[in-house]
Structure 1
Amino acid sequence: MKDDNYKIACVKKDSKVVACAGFRILETLSWGKALYIDDLITDEMSRNRGHASHLITWLQEEAKRLPCKQLHLDSGFARINAHRFYQNSGFHIRSLHFSMEL
């Protein structure tokens, strides 16, 4: 994934990683230049403590610095709590993502 410019940002507490985000900068015809969040993970015992919110804020600032116009991510259909968090963080549901096994 390094070849695709994949990077990881993390939050540490007491020298332990409690949350991390994997992301890339993409440029597409429909989005222009955007920061795409591939992964956003919080340790189960560390949830609901603001770590993911801290990462989202950092990712917003990083996207502006680069300079991107948008943040994007996909989320599994059944992850209702994650969807609520993303919407509370300012994300909007803009599309459905389709895939096909080959």
Structure 2
Amino acid sequence: IARVRSQQQYGYLLAYRQEMDMPVAAAGFRMGQSLSWGRYLYVDDLVTLPTHRSRGHGAALLSWLESFAVKHNCEQLHLGSGFQRKDAHRFYEREGFKSVAYHFHKVLVP
């Protein structure tokens, strides 16, 4: 919760889906702007409880995020996914996403 609260100071937002008054899927996202992407919405987190997968929650969240992005004048919708997440990649491709880049990171030690 502390990490979410900290991220909210920088524009991080949460959307979720529920069944029987219980959250079963959530998306954490933020909007930004860059030279290469223009105004964009970036999905930092997209999770569904394992017991609730393949019920349309992820697709519904992505559809909602796309509408939200368009409403807020975003030109693109982006997300990242680890190489090992093959099932997630197939899902994203079914939802119209294209794999267009590698993402690199480096852990910094103070």
Q: Normalising by structure 2, what TM-score?
A: 0.91
Which whole-Å CA distance do the structure 2 matches of 1:4 and 1:83 have between them? 28
Deviation, 1:19, is 0.3
2:8 maps to 1:9: no
2:105 maps to 1:99: yes
User: In the alignment, which residue of structure 1 is the partner of 2:4?
Assistant: none
Give the one of 81, 86, 89 matched to 1:80: 86
User: In the alignment, which residue of structure 2 is the partner of 1:20?
Assistant: 26
Please, which runs of 5 or more residues in structure 1 have no aligned partner?
A: none
User: In the alignment, which residue of structure 1 is the partner of 2:75?
Assistant: 69
SS in 2 for 1:4: coil
Q: How many residues align?
A: 102
Q: Which amino acid aligns with 1:49?
A: R
Deviation, 1:101, is 1.4
User: In the alignment, which residue of structure 1 is the partner of 2:52?
Assistant: 46
Please, which runs of 5 or more residues in structure 2 have no aligned partner?
A: 1-6
RMSD: 0.5
Deviation, 1:3, is 1.4
Which whole-Å CA distance do the structure 2 matches of 1:86 and 1:4 have between them? 26
Deviation, 1:4, is 1.2
Deviation, 1:58, is 0.2
Deviation, 1:57, is 0.3
Identical positions, percent: 44
SS in 1 for 2:73: coil
